[in-house]
Structure 1
């Protein structure tokens, strides 16, 4: 966990209280069933948390799902020690940023928070390859597409400078009209359905294979 006076995005410690019980639950799970070393660690917001088929989708390599709620990147920074340090992961995959934009953060701030997460993750897992799943388009937040595109472009450039792999899930989730394609989304128009997770699985599997992790 970051020190109280160095919370991301200028946040106070109280800003993160809502996630403390959820993050603490990961520690309880770890004590009941110690996680494997060398797993692929998935971190981020509800699109990670709701990836219920994660273990089956990557059966050749152990995985750990440490997504939580409607979290923003800043939350994963604040809890980075609990989310990353215990696991000695073989690789880290982050998906977050959409909630940041929905909360009113400008794309440049989302980029800066991404960079801060990379710094924290490498403190606890310096050898693990790290990938960022781009902010997806979605039906429920169609009006935010310009900000999503800007944030993705900024993060892509930041990732390249920090040897982080940027995995573009945004482009394949668009239809021919450039709008979010409904076939990838659950009924809420925000989260993924089975087809959407199958798409993401293929993209992440390709990355893991390129890293000789499958």
Structure 2
């Protein structure tokens, strides 16, 4: 009887543990479902431009207005990492069959302790999947941005951005979007006037700078 009870307890622990692990692996399921519902309710067309990634994309509220001649779908989901995007790549990118994809991941990854090499391994998996299913789609990797709240991680971000740049140079139909330099002031630190109070996310001035950087990629 004791052995039976012990077996039941172990089985229950396994089920609970598996459930927790599954929930952790799919922590953005509800948000992604809401994003998909919003997109489908508004309507979208194949061949649009998809912007995806973490909160710097999600919070670009005027993205479509900034580029009125380009159909844009914003599937940004706040707090995400490259691994989160890899897990949600079908609903946020692949099913939409875009002509161009802009990806912003790496910011939260570095802050969470991931190395630049680990991040690039995941980004390579993402790019490879996109190009395999959508061979005519252009992929643009957005550099990690500088921010006052994470400035102590500057070196790690610079390493990541350099690896991104090298990766894009060595892969066809993959471009590097450098948002780092334009966000620094004359002394080489993040501009204080382009962030909201948390010193991490951008205000309208910050997104105006991003618009300058992205315009050449959207008006080719």
| TM-score of the superposed pair, with normalisation by structure 1 | 0.88
Partner of 1:91: 100
**Which of residues 175, 193, 198 in structure 1 aligns to 2:203?**
193
Segment of structure 1 superposing worse, 124-133 or 53-62: 124-133
Alpha carbons 1:185, 1:193 under 8 Å: kept? yes
Q: For 2:99 and 2:83, locate their aligned partners in 1 and report how far apart those are by CA, in whole Å.
A: 23
Which protein has greater RCO, CA pairs closer than 8 Å, 6+ apart? Answer: 1
**Are the aligned partners of 1:84 and 1:124 in contact in 2 as well (CA < 8 Å)?**
no
1:173 aligns with 2:173: no
Q: Which residue of 1 is the match for residue 152 of structure 2?
A: 143
Report the count of equivalent residues.
Answer: 199
User: 1:207/1:103 Cα in 2 relative to 1: closer, same or farther (>3 Å)?
Assistant: same
Does 1:47 find its partner at 2:56?
Answer: yes
Q: C-alpha displacement at 1:137, in angstroms?
A: 0.4
- Worse-matched range after superposition: 73-82 or 116-125: 116-125
5+ residue gaps, structure 1: 1-11
C-alpha distance in 1 between matches for 2:36 and 2:208: 29
Contact between 1:84 and 1:125, CA under 8 Å: does it hold in 2? no
Unaligned 5+ residue runs, structure 2? Answer: 1-20
Which residue does 1:5 correspond to in 2? none
1:9 aligned partner: none
The correspondence for 1:23, drawn from 9, 13, 32, is 32
Shift of 1:13: 4.5
SS of 1:179 mapped into structure 2: coil
Is the deviation greater in 134-143 or in 150-159? Answer: 150-159
Deviations 1:35-85 (A, max 9, x none): 122211001000001010011011001100000010001111111111112
Q: Give, in whole Å, the separation in 1 of the partners of 2:198 and 2:81.
A: 19
Instruction: Identify, as 1 or 2, the structure richer in helix.
Output: 2
In the alignment, the residues of structure 2 paired with residue 169 and residue 175 of structure 1 have an alpha-carbon distance, to the nearest angstrom, of 13
TM-score (norm 2): 0.86
- The SS at the match of 1:67 is coil
- Do the aligned residues in 2 keep the contact of 1:42 with 1:48 (CA within 8 Å)? yes
| Secondary structure class of the residue paired with 2:199 | coil
Larger radius of gyration: 2
RMSD of Structure 2 on Structure 1 (CA): 1.4
